[in-house]
């Protein structure tokens, strides 16, 4: 079928960018595993080289763009490559205002790589209603909900402040997914995702995407995508397209499980504080007790796998202070509230009773 942009998100996830293949009518977009394309006349073919364009990647780009309500999608070989590409639109001396508990890899890219090239970064609490965007700022970078503290930001309000300051406003929508939040409709200039997480959803691909409706920005990003070359291969694009088809039902189940687990954790005396934004599958909580107790906890689970990453069908558990956020300096972690005993859960889509029994076992081990 052909889809119009007004179709529902479940329909778009399955059909957008993926009309039946023209030669055979194959319902599933083929893996166009090729680096180059035969040209009938020199330069007279829309497909020339797979760094520039590949039909499997194009289908994925168009599908995610439709889900985010944007007109242009650009896929990359990782979420970091997508974020890196946004930063490459800036110039030395430019100022970036960034949330203070963004993904650890984003913080590392900004402070360890781009600061050396003369970009200036200020880290602030994006969820603060009194947030100020200094005039002349070129980019406002926001994650909502944040990782790992799951703070949410009023994106429409920040979009307005960014626009008034003349800044691009880019939202990392990895945790919410377009099922729960569509930043472009709230005034964001562009949206990025680590497609590694919920969009692919099966923990078998690393990838990233940028979506925008700003044609001029899209052209600059497409130039960089080709010029720099951090593109996903056709096979990874295919797997991500396949995973994407079930996004809506997966997110519903992630939310059901996470909601129940957050409520159950809140009622326990051995939990100091639970953070859950009310949608999607991420739950963070402070275990009452020290780092050793938290380590015993995360080593005791059997259904929740001790691993970094998130957003797959299987449940994962981790300790941000020594895993995903180890690259954030300890005093910065302390300032923003990432305690040593903070445990982050990525609630998968297994049976809730099995997940709860597993956590129950971990509480016993932590008390040990
Ligand atoms: C994982 C993640 C990234 C980085 O993406 P990769 O695919 O691992 O390169 C960026 N932002 C958020 C919020 C993430 O969770």
State residue 327's pLDDT score: 78
Whether ligand 1 lies within 6 angstroms of the CB of 147 is answered as yes
Instruction: Give the ligand 1 atom nearest the CA of 106.
Output: 10
Q: Are 148 and 344 in contact (CB under 8 A)?
A: yes
Q: Which residues are catalytic?
A: 51, 103, 172, 197
Give the residue-averaged pLDDT of 37-51.
89
- Residue ranges of domains in the chain: 9-244, 247-366
State residue 5's pLDDT score: 66
Does the pLDDT at position 352 exceed 60? yes
Smallest CA separation from ligand 1 atom 2, residue: 194
CB < 8 Å & 24+ apart, contacts of 45-52: 50/231, 50/234, 51/226, 51/229, 51/231, 52/226
Measuring CA to CA, which residue among 73, 60, 59, 67 is closest to residue 12?
67
Give the residue-averaged pLDDT of 182-191.
98
pLDDT digits (tens, 9 = 90+) for 220-229: 999 999 999 9
Give the pLDDT band of residue 38 (cuts 50, 70, 90): very high
Smallest CA separation from ligand 1 atom 4, residue: 79
Give the pLDDT band of residue 1 (cuts 50, 70, 90): very low
pTM summary value: 0.96
Which CATH code for domain 9-244?
3.40.640.10
Best of 79, 190, 207, 310 for a ligand 1 pocket test (most atoms within 8 Å of beta carbon): 79
Residue carrying structure tokens 């763009």:
65
Q: Are 162 and 141 in contact (CB under 8 A)?
A: no
Instruction: Give the ligand 1 atom nearest the CA of 82.
Output: 9
Whether ligand 1 lies within 6 angstroms of the CB of 250 is answered as no
User: Is CATH 3.90.1150.10 the right assignment for the domain spanning 247-366?
Assistant: yes
């Amino acid at each position: 079928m052909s889809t119009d942009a007004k179709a529902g998100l479940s329909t778009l996830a399955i059909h957008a960018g993926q009309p039946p293949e023209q030669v055979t009518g194959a319902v599933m977009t083929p893996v166009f595993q090729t680096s180059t394309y035969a040209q009938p006349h020199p330069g007279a073919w829309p497909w020339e080289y797979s760094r520039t364009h590949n039909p499997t990647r194009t289908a994925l780009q168009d599908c995610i763009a439709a889900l985010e309500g944007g007109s242009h999608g650009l896929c990359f070989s990782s979420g970091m490559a997508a974020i890196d590409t946004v930063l490459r639109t800036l110039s030395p001396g430019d100022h970036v205002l960034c949330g203070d508990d963004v993904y650890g890899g984003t913080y590392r890219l900004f402070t360890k790589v781009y600061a050396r090239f003369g970009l200036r970064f200020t880290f602030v609490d994006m969820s603060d209603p009194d947030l100020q965007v200094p005039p002349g700022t070129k980019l406002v970078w926001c994650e909502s909900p944040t990782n790992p503290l799951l703070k949410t930001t009023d994106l429409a309000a920040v979009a307005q402040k960014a626009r008034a300051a003349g800044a691009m406003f880019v939202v990392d929508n990895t945790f919410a997914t377009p099922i729960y939040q569509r930043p472009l409709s709230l005034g964001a200039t562009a949206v990025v995702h680590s497609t590694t997480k919920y969009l692919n959803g099966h923990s078998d691909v690393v990838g990233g995407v940028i979506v925008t409706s700003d044609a001029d920005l899209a052209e600059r990003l497409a130039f960089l995508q080709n010029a720099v070359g951090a593109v996903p291969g056709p096979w990874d694009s295919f797997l991500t397209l396949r995973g994407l088809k079930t996004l809506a039902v997966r997110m519903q189940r992630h939310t059901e499980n996470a909601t129940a687990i957050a409520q159950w954790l809140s009622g326990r005396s051995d939990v100091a504080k639970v953070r859950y934004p009310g949608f999607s599958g991420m739950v963070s909580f402070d275990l009452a007790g020290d780092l050793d107790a938290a380590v015993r906890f995360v080593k005791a689970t059997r259904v929740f796998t001790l691993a970094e990453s998130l957003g797959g069908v299987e449940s994962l558990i981790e300790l941000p202070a020594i895993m995903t956020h180890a690259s954030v300096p300890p005093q910065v972690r302390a300032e923003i509230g990432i305690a040593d005993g903070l445990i982050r859960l990525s609630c998968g889509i297994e049976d809730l009773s099995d997940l709860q029994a597993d956590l129950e076992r971990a509480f016993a081990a932590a008390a040990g």
